[in-house]
Amino acid sequence: MSAPAPLPAPAPRRRLRVATASLAGCFGCHMSFLDMDERLVGLIDLIVLDRSPLTDIKHPGPCDIALVEGGVCNAENVHVLRELRRAAKVVIALGACAVNGGLPAMRNHRGLEDILRKVYEERPDGGAGIPDDPELPLLTDKVHPLHEVVRVDYFLPGCPPSADAIHKFLTDLAEGRTPRLADALLHFD
- Each of the 189 residues of the chain gets a pLDDT tens digit; together they read 567 777 776 666 789 999 999 999 999 999 999 999 999 999 988 999 999 988 989 999 999 999 999 999 999 999 999 999 999 999 999 999 999 999 999 999 999 999 999 888 888 887 788 998 999 999 999 999 999 999 999 999 999 999 999 999 999 998 889 999 988 888 766
Q: Give the SS3 label for residue 88.
A: strand
Q: How many domains does the chain fold into? A: 1
Range of the domain at 32: 16-104+142-177
pTM of the model: 0.88
Does residue 156 fall inside a structural domain? yes
Does residue 121 fall inside a structural domain? no
Does residue 27 fall inside a structural domain? yes
- Sheet with 63-69, strands from edge to edge, namely 47-49, 16-22, 63-69, 88-94, 154-156
Q: Please give the Cα distance from 28 to 187 (Å, whole number).
A: 14
> Is 97:67 a contact under the CB 8 Å cutoff?
no
Q: Please give the Cα distance from 94 to 69 (Å, whole number).
A: 5
Q: Please give the Cα distance from 72 to 81 (Å, whole number).
A: 8
CATH code, domain carrying 44: 3.40.50.700
Q: Which of 77, 67, 72 is nearest to 21 (CA)?
A: 67
Does residue 21 fall inside a structural domain? yes
Instruction: Please return the burial class of 58, using the count of CB atoms within 10 Å of its CB with bins 0-12, 13-18 and 19+.
Output: exposed
Q: Please give the Cα distance from 160 to 176 (Å, whole number).
A: 25
Does residue 23 fall inside a structural domain? yes
